[in-house]
Structure 1
Amino acid sequence: MTAQTRKPARLDELDRNILRALQADAGQSLDEIARQVGSSKTPVWNRIRKMREAGVMGPSTVVVDPQAIGLDACFFVLIRTSEHEAEWQRTFLAALRARPEVQEAHRLAGEIDYILKVRVADARAYDVFYQALISEVRVFNVTALLSMEEIKTGTALPV
């Protein structure tokens, strides 16, 4: 997502129903989606194609259970920096994008400049991530918060 704002797409009820069906399970067949939304396959496919072209939908992906692959620890990392120059920001953002442990990164308003969602195996793996990050980019303060329990997660948006 970019900082640029754009006009929201104009969606009718059929578009919204298609999006709900895809958000629930993007792997289902076109026939199944058409059945769920009360339409036929061709109009549903055309609408999906148009929504993709309009940027309403990104690429389809698979949701992997982190614990099933040994990523048991989720840290929320709060970063404060005294650096705000363009070059520092480019280096910092490149470092974040290069690290698969970083699931999400957000620039914030307020006292904290950035928040990261980091998935790793354990505290030792987090420390390896942390040491590598601070060796690449200078930051003023880093606070790591270990998530004790994931209460709600998801990517579905209310459409």
Structure 2
Amino acid sequence: MAIDKKDREILRLLQDDASVPLADLANAVSLTPTPCWRRIQKLQADGVIEKQVALCNATKLNLGLTTFVTIRTSQHNEQWMKSFVDGATAIPEIVEIYRLSGDADYLLKIVVPDISRYDSVYKRLIRSVDLLDVSSAFAMETIKCTTALPLDYA
């Protein structure tokens, strides 16, 4: 699948604001609306555009504490992994989960109002599966936070 300069510009603009009207988007990339719409449809069909969402302000939703949690396990089997994934994905405050290489096995991003709510999430997590080590780091300040992916590699 080839992504050209116009596709990258469409993606850049949509990553900035997916609610931009089609006519404005087409104008910004020097296309008429129909070819611009066709390009968007193709990017969606090809899975480049997975979905469109509303990004909410965590602080305004009383989610002022972001915690990054590294997890180590002594079990590396499919049954344990399924139990962990099922348990962790069922906790809505866990918004990102990554399986890692290196010293830690998993990295979680958790958003909650405060430490006591984090403790509640922690307790739900450790009830779901046996863990060797859980280490938490609390974000003091957000320096950069974006959902926009770099497009120079497409």
TM interval, short-chain normalised = over 0.9
Structure 2 unaligned blocks of 5 or more: none
What is the TM-score when the length of structure 2 is the normalising length?
Answer: 0.96
One-letter code of the match for 2:77?
A: E
1:145 to 118, 137, 141: 137
One-letter code of the match for 1:54?
A: D
What corresponds to 2:83 in structure 1? Answer: 91
What corresponds to 1:25 in structure 2? Answer: 17
Q: Which whole-Å CA distance do the structure 2 matches of 1:97 and 1:59 have between them?
A: 19
Q: Which whole-Å CA distance do the structure 2 matches of 1:100 and 1:37 have between them?
A: 38
What corresponds to 2:46 in structure 1? Answer: 54
Structure 1 unaligned blocks of 5 or more: 1-8
Q: Which whole-Å CA distance do the structure 1 matches of 2:80 and 2:141 have between them?
A: 34
* 1:7-156 superposed matches below 5 A: 9-156=1-148
Q: Which whole-Å CA distance do the structure 2 matches of 1:102 and 1:37 have between them?
A: 37
**Number of aligned positions between the proteins:** 151
Q: Following TM superposition, where does structure 1 have runs of at least 4 consecutive aligned residues deviating by more than 2 angstroms?
A: none
CA RMSD of aligned residues (A): 0.7
**Shift of the alpha carbon at 1:35?**
1.0
